[in-house]
């Protein structure tokens, strides 16, 4: 039976405008999913939108429409088009307004209630509508300007609201020891290390029960045993990961797809690695495979967000450099798990050095030489052992890096092949070999080595750059779709067909 790989992005808050911070998460999750598909794993990638809560209701009202019409509009005009723009091959897209989600949430909640994990209680706390989150005193900072003298949300710089309600509570506090045991028993459950430490420390300080319902507005999913309450938006949103795959409804699909791996920004790792596993334990389902909290994209030293007005739309980048370069740049330039700074200069420099001059030039030189010296036919001989060994090692290392979610390392291994092959051309000087009758067999081996190496690199880079690798693959005589090649056997591919001349894969981009 093939290995299971179910991977999720967070569901995005539909009210936000998609920016490259969201795109970064989507692309990384997509690269992982594509890689696993090329391994032959039973892969399923889930993404979607989070559509309930007070903030959405307020914006819809402000736009003189209903929350359902408002979210429909945003999903169709902003969120789905971004996935298409970025070549995201998600297998499913869940909206929390989908009937299947509502059904799953009600079943899950009822089970928690029946098992005694939910009780009714009084509640007073500070709430930021922008975050849709309760704030502890430590989360608040002194306000400035018009909010001088008040405490405000550190993220939104706006005052919080004091909420007093009688609500339903989830007994989160009961799960402290089980969570600590989980982190200790499975050190790779929360990654990377610094996020794991932060989460563990948070739980070690003690947990309070979580208010999981609201009765002051109705834009949400009704609590099954008390229709006067709707489920707290975060609690409900986490359940998308199981409602999408048939939880409580389609046991066969659920057994096939669950547990999943969650790729999230580090700022929401706590929800995914504290509240969510406690909910899973309470409901008696398996805990997720992994929670990986990646870093933030910084622009001018600040976290990319709409609230801070540093948002850059992905299209601004793809219009100039193309989708493949967008995907390549963010996966290659930033160590996955660390914060990274975006700059147009760095993007431009890497595009030209690594893609245009590195990969693109290697491809065009090799294809031209096979045409010139062998009439376009790839010599059917073994590659030189030194390069063959490097291909095998690089493939193995790249594949191992993916299991550690180190996407940048996997790409580095592919680019190591490209660099080595460019060096190999210079050392071997095929244009000199071509003039020497005694060197014809050697020239065959050099050309075959170059073609094989390019094919191997194309396979390894296929999860990252979906379009240019297909063009490259076809140009060196690869058959079928490059995404259908077994990625673990990438070094074993042997080009024996014909090469075809293609337009430059990464045309030069003039400075803006
Ligand atoms: Zn806030």
Q: What is the pLDDT along the chain (512 residues), one digit of tens a residue?
A: 789 999 999 999 998 788 899 999 999 999 999 999 999 999 999 999 999 988 899 999 999 999 999 999 999 999 999 999 999 999 999 999 999 999 999 999 999 999 999 999 987 889 998 888 888 888 899 998 999 999 999 889 999 998 887 899 999 999 999 999 999 999 999 999 999 999 999 999 999 999 999 888 899 999 999 999 999 999 999 999 999 999 999 999 999 999 999 999 999 999 999 999 999 999 999 999 999 999 998 887 777 655 555 568 899 999 999 999 999 999 999 999 999 999 999 999 999 999 999 999 999 999 999 999 999 999 999 999 999 999 999 999 999 999 999 999 999 999 999 999 999 999 999 999 999 999 999 999 999 999 999 999 999 999 999 999 999 999 999 999 999 999 999 999 998 899 999 999 999 998 65
Three-class SS state of 320: helix
Cβ pair 504, 364 in contact under 8 A: yes
Q: What is the Å distance from ligand 1's center to 127 Cα?
A: 8
CA distance 215 to 221: 11
* HSE value, Cβ hemisphere, 13 Å, CA-based, for 85: 22
Cβ pair 261, 404 in contact under 8 A: no
Q: What is the pLDDT of residue 413?
A: 98
Q: What is the Å distance from ligand 1's center to 150 Cα?
A: 14
Name the residues annotated as catalytic. 19, 22, 128, 131, 153, 156, 303, 306
Strand-pair partners of 295: none
Q: What is the Å distance from ligand 1's center to 129 Cα?
A: 6
Class of residue 144 by CB neighbours under 10 A (exposed 0-12, middle 13-18, buried 19+):
exposed
Q: What is the Å distance from ligand 1's center to 240 Cα?
A: 23
Q: What is the Å distance from ligand 1's center to 297 Cα?
A: 19
Q: In terms of DSSP H, where are the helices of 339-382?
A: 344-350, 361-374
Three-state SS for 212-230 is: CEECCCCCCCEECCEEEEE
Residues of the chain by 3-state class (helix, strand, coil), percent to 5? 50, 15, 30
Three-class SS state of 296: coil
Three-class SS state of 94: strand
Q: What is the Å distance from ligand 1's center to 5 Cα?
A: 34
H or E element, residue 168: strand 161-170
CA distance 249 to 255: 11
Class of residue 496 by CB neighbours under 10 A (exposed 0-12, middle 13-18, buried 19+):
middle
CA distance 67 to 34: 34
Residue 147 neighbours by CB distance under 10 Å: 13
Q: Give the residue carrying structure tokens 């999860």.
A: 463
Q: What is the Å distance from ligand 1's center to 134 Cα?
A: 9
Binding residues for Zn(2+): 128, 131, 153, 156
Binding residues: 128, 131, 153, 156
């Amino acid at each position: 039976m093939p290995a299971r790989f179910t991977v999720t992005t967070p569901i995005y808050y539909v009210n936000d405008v998609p920016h490259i911070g969201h795109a970064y998460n989507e692309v990384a999750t997509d690269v992982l999913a594509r890689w696993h598909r090329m391994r032959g794993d039973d892969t399923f990638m889930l993404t979607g939108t989070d559509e309930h809560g007070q903030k959405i209701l307020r914006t819809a009202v402000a736009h003189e429409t209903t929350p359902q019409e408002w979210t429909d509009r945003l999903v169709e005009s902003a969120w789905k088009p971004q996935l298409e723009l970025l070549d995201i091959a998600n297998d499913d897209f869940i909206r929390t307004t989908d009937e299947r989600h509502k059904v799953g949430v009600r079943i899950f909640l009822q089970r928690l209630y029946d098992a005694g994990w939910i009780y009714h209680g009084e509640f007073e706390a500070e709430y930021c509508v922008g975050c849709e989150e309760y704030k502890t005193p430590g989360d608040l900072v002194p306000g400035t300007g018009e909010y001088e003298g008040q405490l405000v949300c550190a993220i939104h710089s706006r005052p919080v609201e004091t909420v007093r309600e009688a609500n339903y509570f989830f007994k989160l506090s009961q799960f402290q020891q089980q969570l600590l045991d989980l982190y200790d028993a499975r050190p790779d459950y929360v990654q990377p290390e610094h996020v794991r430490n932060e989460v563990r420390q948070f739980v070690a300080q003690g947990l309070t029960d979580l208010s999981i319902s609201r009765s002051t507005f109705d834009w949400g999913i009704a609590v099954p045993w008390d229709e006067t309450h709707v489920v707290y938006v975060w609690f409900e949103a986490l359940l998308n990961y199981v409602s999408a795959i048939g939880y409580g409804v389609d046991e066969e699909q659920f057994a096939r797809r669950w547990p999943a791996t969650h790729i999230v920004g580090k700022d929401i790792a706590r929800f995914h690695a504290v509240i969510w596993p406690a909910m899973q334990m309470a409901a008696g389902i398996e805990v997720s495979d992994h929670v990986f909290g990646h870093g933030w994209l910084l622009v001018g030293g600040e976290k990319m967000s709409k609230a801070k007005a540093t948002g850059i739309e992905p299209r601004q980048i793809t219009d100039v450099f193309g989708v493949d370069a967008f995907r390549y740049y963010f996966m290659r330039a930033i160590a996955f798990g660390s914060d990274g700074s975006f700059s147009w200069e760095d993007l431009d420099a890497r595009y030209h050095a690594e893609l245009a001059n590195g990969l693109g030039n290697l491809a065009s030189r090799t294809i031209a030489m096979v045409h010139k010296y062998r009439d376009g036919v790839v010599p059917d001989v073994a590659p030189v052992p030194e390069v063959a060994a490097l291909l095998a090692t690089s493939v193995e290392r790249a594949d191992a890096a993916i299991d550690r979610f180190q996407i940048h390392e996997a790409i580095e291994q592919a680019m190591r092949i490209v660099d080595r092959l460019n060096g190999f051309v210079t050392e071997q000087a095929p244009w000199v070999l071509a003039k020497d009758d005694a060197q014809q067999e050697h020239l065959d081996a050099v050309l075959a080595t170059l073609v094989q190496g390019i094919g191997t690199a194309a396979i390894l880079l296929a999860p990252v750059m979906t379009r240019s690798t297909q063009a490259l693959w076809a140009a060196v005589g690869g058959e079928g779709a490059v995404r259908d090649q077994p990625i673990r056997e990438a070094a074993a591919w042997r080009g024996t067909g014909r090469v075809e001349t293609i337009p430059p894969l990464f045309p030069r981009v003039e400075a803006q």
